[in-house]
């Protein structure tokens, strides 16, 4: 079973600060997705990255896929309280299934 | 809007009971999944299904079974509930195709407590 490690596990920062969370694996992904989950809800897809070195932006969120397709990062600029949630990366290894990371629980303090 | 619904948001059962968790999706998706979510462990795949009456084991199938008699409905069954099955259970569906290129749509989850 492939494992995805996310770091940090918990992150609490002030509104307006920048932050980066990471997703790492020892295996090569075919593609990688980032999801956000709010309390009492299921995860919702934010982005899919496919190509090594790919960078995608979603407003204040920047997603990067490592050149070797073994890691990914999510950078948030000028964090807002609405960014609070659990961020999950999920890697696909060439079949119909996703393997989810352990998650980063982000809290933005007003 | 894609909708995945789960039969219960909260459920409390006793050890040894048979438990049914139901999931329904309205997007005619071929693939459906059951995960459990525990703090620090992320989402772990229990079972998934590619089509009606088709099922495959995920990473942690022990103690669980599934049923898919209709395309829109995927049921998770705990034959004899145990306290270590206390968890959040999430159902998801997606259209068929390379796993990472299509979004998985999740239900709101069922928080199951086994006492």
Domains of chain A and CATH, by start: 4-109 (2.60.40.10)
Select from A35, A36, A42 the residue whose CB has the most chain B CBs within 10 Å, as the one to mutate to test that interface: A42
Rounded to a whole number, what is the distance in Å from the CA of B14 to chain A's nearest CA?
23
Q: pLDDT at position B98, please?
A: 56
Whether B82 and chain A come into contact, CB under 8 Å, resolves to: no
Q: Report pLDDT digits (tens) over B11-63.
A: 999 999 999 999 999 999 999 999 999 988 889 999 999 899 999 999 999 99
Whether A20 and chain B come into contact, CB under 8 Å, resolves to: no
Q: pLDDT at position A27, please?
A: 87
Domain definitions of chain B by residue range: 4-97
pLDDT averaged over 10-residue windows placed end to end, chain A, 110 residues: 84 97 91 92 91 94 94 97 95 80 95
- Tokens representing residue B59 in the block: 């990473």
Query: Helix, strand, or coil here: A25?
Result: strand
Q: Report pLDDT digits (tens) over B85-98.
A: 999 999 999 886 65
Q: The domain B4-97 is classified under which CATH number: 2.60.40.10, 2.30.38.10, 3.20.20.70, 2.60.40.4070?
A: 2.60.40.10
Q: A100 and B107: CB-CB below 8 Å? A: no
Whether B24 and chain A come into contact, CB under 8 Å, resolves to: no
In chain B, which ranges are E strands?
A: 4-6, 10-13, 19-25, 31-38, 42-49, 56-57, 64-70, 73-78, 87-94, 105-106, 110-114
Q: Which of A29, A42, A100 sits opposite B107 (nearest CB)?
A: A42
pLDDT above 70: residue B2:
no
**Cβ(B114)–Cβ(B15) under 8 Å?**
yes
Peptide bond connecting A12 to the previous residue in cis, omega within 30 degrees of 0: no
Phi/psi for A106 (5° steps) reads: -105, 130
């Amino acid at each position: 079973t492939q494992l995805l490690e996310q770091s940090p596990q918990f992150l609490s920062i002030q509104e307006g600060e920048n932050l980066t969370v990471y997703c790492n694996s020892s295996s090569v992904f075919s593609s990688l997705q980032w999801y956000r989950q709010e309390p009492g809800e299921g995860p919702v897809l934010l982005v899919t990255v496919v190509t090594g070195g790919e960078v995608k932006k979603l407003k204040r969120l920047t997603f990067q896929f490592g050149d070797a397709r073994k890691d990914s990062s999510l950078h948030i600029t000028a964090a807002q309280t609405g960014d609070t949630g659990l961020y999950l990366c999920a890697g696909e290894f060439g079949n119909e299934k996703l393997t989810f990371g352990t998650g980063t629980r982000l809290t933005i303090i007003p | 809007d894609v909708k995945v619904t789960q039969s219960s948001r909260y459920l409390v059962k006793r050890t040894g009971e048979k438990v049914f968790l139901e999931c329904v999706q309205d997007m005619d998706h071929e693939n459906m999944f059951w995960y459990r979510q525990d703090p620090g462990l992320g989402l772990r795949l229990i079972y998934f299904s590619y089509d009606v009456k088709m099922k495959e084991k995920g990473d942690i199938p022990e103690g669980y079974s599934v049923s898919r008699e209709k395309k829109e409905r995927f049921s998770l069954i705990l034959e004899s509930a145990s306290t270590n099955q206390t968890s959040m259970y999430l159902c998801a569906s997606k259209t068929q195709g390379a796993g990472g290129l299509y979004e998985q749509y999740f239900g709101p989850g069922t928080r199951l407590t086994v006492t």
